[in-house]
Structure 1
Amino acid sequence: MFQTFEKLLRWSTGLISAMALFTIMWLTLIDVTGRKFFDHSVPGGLELTEVLMVVVIFGALPLVSWRGEHVVFDSLDHLIPDWIKGIQDRLVELVSATTFGGLAWLLVLRAQRFAEYGDTTVYLQFSIAPVAWLMAGLLFITAMVHLLFVFFPPRRAGDDQGGAV
């Protein structure tokens, strides 16, 4: 089950992030080339790059959480007994799930407000609401990853307990 979930994450959020990053790469190449040789940049290139960066960052969050690749302060872990580490890990996952879920909810509210007001980007006039809804959805998926780890602790490198990853 967990391998299937990881594949699903890779082929959904991972692919979205990779495609957005690839697009940023080409957009930057075309923009710089246009400025250097033709004295003309890509119209709205900055706005496109900003939106694509949001997709890269928020799209990568579920995979980063799944793989346990967040920045971790563990210099005192060798002093903590294993049974306390298990409780600590589950508590951290619960706090993370709650935080990401709360942020997702706030972004849904913000996206609804963007949609109601008809907010758009300045130059290209793209609607901002779908971007905010995408961000909220990806935060929700990240929250679900952390919630899953509350009940099924992940197996990390050098870890003897757990079993999800």
Structure 2
Amino acid sequence: MLKTFEKVLQWSSGLMAAMGLFTIMWLTLFDVTGRKFFNHSVPGGLELTEILMVVVIFGALPLVSWRGEHVVFDSLDHLIPPLVKDIQNRLVELVCALTFGGLAWLMNQRALRFAEYGDTTVYLQFSIAPVAWLMTGLLVLTALVHLVLVFSPQHEADSVEQGGAV
């Protein structure tokens, strides 16, 4: 079941982040080439890059959380007994789940306000609300990942195999 969940994460948020980064790469290439050789940049290139950065960062967040690839301070972990460390890890995952859930709620409130006011980007006039809702969805997915890790029976074994703490 957890392997299936990981595959779904890789094929959803991982692929989304990879495609966003790939698109940023090509957009930057065309923008720089256009400025250098044709004295004309890609119209709205900055706005597109900003939106794509949202896709990359928030798209990668659930997968980074699942793999426990966050920056951690674990220099004292060898002094903590395994049972206490397991409880500590599960409490941290619960706090992370609640935090990401709260952030998702706040982002949804912001998205509703963007939609209500009809906020758009300056140059291309793209609606900002769908981007905020995408952020909301990915924050909810990240919260769900942390919630799964709270109750995962292989939680401790997985984090040790990956070479880091959660």
Q: TM-score range by the shorter chain?
A: over 0.9
Q: What's 2:59 paired with?
A: 59
Q: What's 1:150 paired with?
A: 150
Distance 1:116 1:132 in 2: 13
Distance 1:122 1:102 in 2: 29
Other structure's SS at 1:156 match = helix
Q: What's 1:134 paired with?
A: 134
Other structure's SS at 2:160 match = coil
Other structure's SS at 2:159 match = coil
Asked whether 1:73 is paired with 2:89, we answer: no
TM-score, normalization by structure 2: 0.93
RMSD value, Cα: 1.0
Q: Which amino acid aligns with 1:87?
A: I
Q: What's 2:91 paired with?
A: 91
Q: Which amino acid aligns with 2:148?
A: L
Distance 1:113 1:57 in 2: 22
1:76-132 deviations in Å (ceiling 9; x for gaps): 111111111011001000000000000001000100000000000011000000000
Asked whether 1:124 is paired with 2:127, we answer: no
**How many percent identity over aligned positions?**
77
Give every structure 1 segment of 4 or more consecutive aligned residues whose post-TM-superposition deviation is greater than 4 Å.
none
Q: Which amino acid aligns with 1:126?
A: F
Distance 2:38 2:160 in 1: 51
Other structure's SS at 2:11 match = helix
Q: Displacement, 1:158?
A: 4.3
Distance 1:131 1:148 in 2: 26
Unaligned runs of 5+ in 2: none
Distance 1:62 1:108 in 2: 18
Asked whether 1:31 is paired with 2:34, we answer: no
Unaligned runs of 5+ in 1: 160-165
